[in-house]
Amino acid sequence: MTSPTLSRRRTVAERHRPQAILAGLAILAILMALAELLLGPVTISGDRLLAVLLGGGEPLDAGILWQIRLPRLTLGIAVGVALALSGTALQGVLRNPLADPGLIGVTAGASLGAVSVIVLGGLFATELPGFLQPFLLPLSAFLGGSLVIACVFTLSRRSGETSMATLILIGVAINTIAGAIIGVLVYVSDDQALRDLTFWNMGGLGHASWPVVTVALAATLACVPTFWRHAHGLDLFQLGERQAFHAGLDVERCKRRMALSAAVSVGAVTAAAGPIGFIGLVAPHLARLLVGHGHRWVLPTAALLGVSLVLGADLAVRLAIPPQEPPIGIATSLLGGPFFLWLLTRRHRRQDA
């Protein structure tokens, strides 16, 4: 038997555990962000960084930071937050731990939208006023992504609950279809579009300019409050749709909002950074291992983890063979692929038991 004071002390520690973990992860994310700014082919020391951020510093440092590293960092933050929160929300709504924007085809849909603009945009983009140009890519990526989410939600609607197999098969089908159409678009694209497309399709934080990055971050940040407000709803979804309704959740509205937010944020960051896989799978799962299953804690934890993972992957590919820069997707897939396999085998074992 534990004494009452001991058990009380333990429960107090338990209660403050999520806060402590969040604080730790925030520090980790900040360290990653600093490393992202300081490290690279040209190493910049802390005091030089401070000088530049205060408006002074050497012109070379200022150029590197303002033109290369800061947009990169900003995009990394947007990508991490958007993919992690969308993954958490999709997994919550579909009651399925494997619902990752990449695996179920949302990223592919967004890619298709973006590629369409890259290849066919030349036909009409020049007609549009200048200030709309940075929105064109994210907008069509959003349309592609939301089309896929609508498909997935409709196809998986049958019994109000999706089996793992159905969801993965839907993802395979959608990824195949999107891949085929992208292939057709590649075939008809001209040289310039092909160059853009190849760089974009490798995925990475380094190819985007300030306007594109700003749109990605703004779209993501606009979705964050919606995800956050539905934390309780995502908890209730774990009861199944009917029980969630009985417990007071407007199931259809919650679903619509989560789908829309996921489509907007995934579309925006995919348009800017290209397809980046597995962050939406790995971040929520690590978050649940750390803080349990209540979405009030899972959402912020996953967002911070997503930022750290994306920045970590970016640092890894940048520092591996400088000044070469392999696509960031290599790093996220090397981390996420085995993780995905581990999840599958773990679930299999549980079902066998």
Residues that bind other proteins (CB under 8 A): 95, 232, 235-240, 242-243, 245-251, 288, 292-294
**Local structure of residue 348 (DSSP, 8 states):** H
Distance CA 216, CA 108 (A): 17
Q: How far is the CB of 239 from other proteins (least distance, A)?
A: 6
Q: How far is the CB of 352 from other proteins (least distance, A)?
A: 15
Residue 315's φ and ψ, nearest 5 degrees, are: -60, -40
Q: How far is the CB of 11 from other proteins (least distance, A)?
A: 9
Q: Are 307 and 32 in contact (CB under 8 A)?
A: yes
- Please count the helices (runs of H) and the strands (runs of E) in the chain: 15, 0
Comparison of 241 and 325: residue with beta carbon closer to other proteins: 241
Distance CA 161, CA 81 (A): 27
Comparison of 195 and 253: residue with beta carbon closer to other proteins: 253
Comparison of 8 and 242: residue with beta carbon closer to other proteins: 242
Comparison of 200 and 237: residue with beta carbon closer to other proteins: 237
The amino acid that residue 109 corresponds to is: G
Distance CA 37, CA 66 (A): 10
Q: How far is the CB of 119 from other proteins (least distance, A)?
A: 41
Q: How far is the CB of 203 from other proteins (least distance, A)?
A: 31
Distance CA 312, CA 73 (A): 11
Comparison of 192 and 238: residue with beta carbon closer to other proteins: 238
Contacts (Cβ under 8 Å, ≥6 apart) of 321: none
